[in-house]
């Protein structure tokens, strides 16, 4: 609950929505014009205990867990655009934990567990559909990687196994499993608990949850600079004024190098766009999420019936999110190689989002050489699924000052120390 | 499609080229420390704006060159033959894929 009186900008929120079946019926029967706002707007305060830069799933989850688990509520989330306007509102919403390294598997599995309970925790339906996730192998070396992953996964109690073409056909009938294609399918890594989630709902659910604990969410608020003295963060300069704070968490994904630059922290990150596309909706016919590394493509069907297609990141670094015809042409060709029956389907739209790629396809989480400047970045093409666990772990780090064991392997110093966490074999097709 | 002006072949579709990333000073392997070497391998400036970078004309003359590109809108203000080849080749010397770590090309 809020202790200090606060002013609002924009349309003042009368009341924050409390969701219940009765409220749903009431609004459903009415003209549905009077839905209360889900989070509030505020004037910027002069100081906060913690300032989180970036209003995507990572920033919002960290804010939520700081407030709900650790009672740290004097927190601001600063977002230069709108909440979820970065990768968090542009991803293809796949969640899974069948990674390659023991560190990665343990970490992503914790996120899946948090996701399984998140609708109930936030009282907001995130539509997690655990429909199974399948990564196809079209050659011996990828089949070998699948076997390796399956064993690493099983050792940690994760459902994950290699299956053959008949089983693949049974689970996903539109796939062409015949032997006379250019890239015949030899097998697949099948991961039953993987699936898709409504990504916007996760953003809104965490935003609403954080707001209810008193966290301030500031949209249209760009961070322009960070001041330090004596190697310690002191101040954040924003487009709406200065803020005094001793703790800043960088959650800006594709833009994270620019925030790091403000305090002189160097990271092994390059920014590249990842594009995706969606078709018109059709009746449900594809249950599992299907990924092909060799064809650089993945396919899933949403609850609305659209097919969502994703791929690998664009081939050179840039901060532009423009889509390209080149991309969509290549993507369509690859999708049709995989599922020839889709040739009559029409694409509705394509889009791109910025991804902060690291050399080992693992994130960077933890403290830095600058006191009070923490990072939760390097999310590349796989950070949506990790939002809950990163938020939880980063909140614990900020609250206790100790790096939790689960994220210890992912420190920003691992590159200079030569301790990479190589996940390329499990994460190079962006999801 | 975006075009790049290869110093030897002229304007070509960007899909003909391999990307090598931002230009960096390579420390002398004989005298460098491990940390310095790893910093060279991994750390990047990743600027939003002007970037000097290396390219490889993989589906053309198979030669390396440099470009100056604005990473926010992909306008290329300059392309030129290599001035500081990361492997210490002389300017204009014919470097081939075997000479460089071109893993970033194979996308
Ligand atoms: C097409 C596509 C498909 C993907 N598919 C998947 C998938 O299937 N599964 C998966 O797990 N991951 C996927 N990802 C990756 C995932 O989307 C990202 O890793 C994740 O959303 C990162 O979340 P974030 O909160 O860290 O960053 P973002 O959601 O990108 O948020 C960063 C925010 O920081 C803000 N910001 C930047 N600079 C400033 C500033 N100076 N001041 C204030 N605010 C600033 C931005 O406006 C932005 O809103 C995909 C990504 C893309 C683009
Ligand atoms: Zn050429």
Q: How far is CA A387 from the centre of its chain?
A: 5
Q: What is the pTM of this model?
A: 0.93
In this prediction, residues A334-358 reach a mean pLDDT of 96
Dihedral, B93, B94, B97, B103 alpha carbons, nearest 10: 30
pLDDT confidence band for B102 (50 / 70 / 90): very low
pLDDT at A231 over 50: yes
Q: Which residue has the higher pLDDT, A390 or A324?
A: A390
Give whole-number Cα distances, A412 to A17, A354, A361, A408, B27, in Å: 39, 20, 13, 10, 22
Q: Across all residues in chain A, what is the average pLDDT?
A: 94
List chain B domain ranges: 3-104
CATH number of A123-195+270-357: 3.30.9.10
pLDDT at A68 over 80: yes
pLDDT confidence band for B31 (50 / 70 / 90): very high
Structure confidence by residue, pLDDT tens digits, A39-49:
999 999 999 99
Q: Are A248 and A288 in contact (CB under 8 A)?
A: no
* Architecture, CATH, for domain B3-104: 2-Layer Sandwich (3.30)
List chain A domain ranges: 50-93+200-267+360-423, 123-195+270-357
Does ligand 1 come within 6 angstroms of the Cβ of A111?
A: no
pLDDT confidence band for B85 (50 / 70 / 90): low
From chain A, which residues contact B within 8 Å (Cβ)? Answer: 255, 257-258, 266-271, 312-313, 315-320, 324-326, 359, 415-416, 418
Structure confidence by residue, pLDDT tens digits, A208-228:
999 999 999 999 999 999 999
- DSSP, collapsed to helix, strand or coil, labels residue A218 as strand
ipTM value: 0.90
Q: Round to whole Å and give the CA distance between A419 and A411.
A: 10
pLDDT at A6 over 50: no
Q: How many CB atoms lie within 10 A of CB A365?
A: 28
Q: Round to whole Å and give the CA distance between A388 and A114.
A: 6
Query: Which residues have C-beta within 8 Å of that of residue B9, sequence separation ≥ 6?
Result: B57, B60, B61
User: What's the pLDDT at A17?
Assistant: 64
* Owner of token pair 């014009």: A33
Contact list, A270 vs chain B (CB under 8 Å):
21, 44, 46
Q: Round to whole Å and give the CA distance between A105 and A110.
A: 9
Does ligand 1 come within 6 angstroms of the Cβ of A388?
A: no
pLDDT at B88 over 70: no
How would you classify the pairing of strands A248-250 and A373-377? parallel
How far the first Cα of chain A sits from its last, in Å, is 37
Q: Closest-CA residue in chain B for A269?
A: B44
Contact list, B18 vs chain A (CB under 8 Å):
315
Give whole-number Cα distances, A215 to A47, A192, A218, A288, A346, in Å: 13, 36, 10, 37, 43
Q: Which residue has the higher pLDDT, B106 or A11?
A: A11
pLDDT at A276 over 90: yes
User: What's the pLDDT at A24?
Assistant: 80
User: What's the pLDDT at B84?
Assistant: 67
Q: Which long-range contacts (CB under 8 A, 24 or more apart) does A107-112 make?
A: A107/A386, A107/A389, A107/A406, A107/A407, A107/A410, A108/A385, A108/A386, A108/A389, A109/A156, A109/A158, A110/A389, A110/A392, A110/A406, A111/A385, A111/A386, A111/A387, A111/A388, A111/A389, A111/A390, A112/A193, A112/A385
From chain B, which residues contact A within 8 Å (Cβ)? Answer: 1, 14-15, 18-19, 21-22, 34-35, 38-39, 41-48, 51, 53, 71-74, 107
Given the candidates 2.60.120.260, 3.50.50.60, 3.40.50.2000, 3.40.640.10, the CATH classification of the domain at A50-93+200-267+360-423 is 3.50.50.60
User: Which strands make up the sheet holding A50-53, listed edge to edge?
Assistant: A216-218, A75-78, A50-53, A248-250, A373-377, A364-367
Q: Round to whole Å and give the CA distance between A327 and A310.
A: 10
pLDDT at A398 over 80: yes
User: What's the pLDDT at A26?
Assistant: 81
Structure confidence by residue, pLDDT tens digits, A362-388:
999 999 999 999 999 999 999 999 999
- Report CB contact under 8 Å: B71, A317: yes
CA of A272 to the centre of ligand 1 (A): 12
pLDDT at A429 over 50: yes
User: What's the pLDDT at B6?
Assistant: 98
Q: How many CB atoms lie within 10 A of CB A121?
A: 15
**Please, what's the b/e burial string for A73-96 (b: 16 or more CB within 10 A of its CB; e: otherwise)?**
bbbbbbbbeebbbbbbbbbbbbbb
In this prediction, residues B12-27 reach a mean pLDDT of 96
Structure confidence by residue, pLDDT tens digits, B46-76:
999 999 999 999 999 999 999 999 999 999 9
Structure confidence by residue, pLDDT tens digits, A149-194:
999 999 999 999 999 999 999 999 999 999 989 899 999 999 999 9
pLDDT at A292 over 80: yes
pLDDT at A413 over 70: yes
Among candidates B46, B53, B73 on the partner chain, residue whose Cβ is nearest the Cβ of A257 = B46
Q: Which atom of ligand 1 is nearest to the CA of A376?
A: 26
Ligand with minimal distance to A429 CA: 1
Q: Closest-CA residue in chain A for B104?
A: A315
pLDDT at A337 over 90: yes
Question: Candidates A84, A95, A381, A393: which one to mutate for ligand 1, based on the most atoms within 8 Å of Cβ?
Answer: A381
Whose C-alpha lies nearest to ligand 1, atom 4? A91
Least confident of A41-55, A231-245, B85-99: B85-99
pLDDT at A115 over 50: yes
pLDDT confidence band for A35 (50 / 70 / 90): confident
Structure confidence by residue, pLDDT tens digits, A249-273:
999 999 999 999 999 999 999 999 9
Radius of gyration (C-alpha) of chain A in whole angstroms: 22
CA of B8 to the centre of ligand 2 (A): 5
* Owner of token pair 């990307």: B19
Percent helix, strand, coil in chain B (nearest 5)? 15, 30, 50
Percent of chain A at pLDDT > 70 equals 96
């Amino acid at each position: 609950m809020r202790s200090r009186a606060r002013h609002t900008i924009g349309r003042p929120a009368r009341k924050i929505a409390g969701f219940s079946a009765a409220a749903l019926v009431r609004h459903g029967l009415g003209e549905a014009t009077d839905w209360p706002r889900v989070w509030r707007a505020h004037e910027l305060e002069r100081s906060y205990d913690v300032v989180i830069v970036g209003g995507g799933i990572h920033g919002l989850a960290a804010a939520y867990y700081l407030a709900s688990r650790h009672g740290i509520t004097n927190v601001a989330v600063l977002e230069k655009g709108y909440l979820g306007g970065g990768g968090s509102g542009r991803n293809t919403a796949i969640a899974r934990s069948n990674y390659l390294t023991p560190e990665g598997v343990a970490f992503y599995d914790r996120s899946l567990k948090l996701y399984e309970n998140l609708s109930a925790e936030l009282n907001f339906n995130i539509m997690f559909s655990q429909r199974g996730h399948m990564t196809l192998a079209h050659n011996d070396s990828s089949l070998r990687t699948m076997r390796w992953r399956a064993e690493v996964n099983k050792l940690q109690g994760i459902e994950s196994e290699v299956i053959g073409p008949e089983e693949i056909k049974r689970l996903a009938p539109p796939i062409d499993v015949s032997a006379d294609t250019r890239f015949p399918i030899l097998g697949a890594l099948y991961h039953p608990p993987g699936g898709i989630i409504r990504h916007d709902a996760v953003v809104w659910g965490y935003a609403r949850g954080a707001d209810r604990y008193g966290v301030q969410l500031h949209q249209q608020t760009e961070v322009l600079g960070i001041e330090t003295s004596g190697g310690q963060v002191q101040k954040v300069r924003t487009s709406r004024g200065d803020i005094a704070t001793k703790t800043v968490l960088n959650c800006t994904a594709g833009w994270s190098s620019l925030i790091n630059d403000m305090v002189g922290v160097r990271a092994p990150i390059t920014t590249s766009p990842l594009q995706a596309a969606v078709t018109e909706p059709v009746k449900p016919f594809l249950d599992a999420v299907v990924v092909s590394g060799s064809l650089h493509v993945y396919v899933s069907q949403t609850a609305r019936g659209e097919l969502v297609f994703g791929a690998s990141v664009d081939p050179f670094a840039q901060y532009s999110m423009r889509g390209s015809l080149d991309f969509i042409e290549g993507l369509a060709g690859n999708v049709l190689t995989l599922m020839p029956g889709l040739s009559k389907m029409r694409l509705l739209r394509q889009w791109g989002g910025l991804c902060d790629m690291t050399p080992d396809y693992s994130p960077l989480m933890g403290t830095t050489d600058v006191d009070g400047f923490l990072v939760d970045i390097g999310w590349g093409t796989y950070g949506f699924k990790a939002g809950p666990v990163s938020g939880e772990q980063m909140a614990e780090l900020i609250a206790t000052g100790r790096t939790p064991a689960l994220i210890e392997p992912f420190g920003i110093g691992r590159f200079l120390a030569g301790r990479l966490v190589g996940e390329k074999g499990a994460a190079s097709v962006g999801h | 499609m975006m075009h790049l002006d290869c110093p030897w072949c002229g304007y070509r579709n960007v899909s003909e080229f391999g990307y090598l990333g931002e230009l960096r000073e390579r420390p002398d392997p004989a005298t460098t420390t491990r940390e310095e070497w790893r910093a060279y391998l991994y750390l990047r400036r990743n600027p939003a704006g002007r970037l000097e970078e290396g390219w490889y004309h993989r589906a053309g003359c198979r030669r390396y060159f440099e470009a100056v590109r604005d990473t926010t809108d992909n306008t290329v203000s300059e392309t030129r033959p290599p001035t500081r080849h990361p492997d210490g080749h002389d300017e204009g010397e014919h470097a081939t894929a075997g000479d460089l770590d071109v893993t970033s090309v194979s996308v």
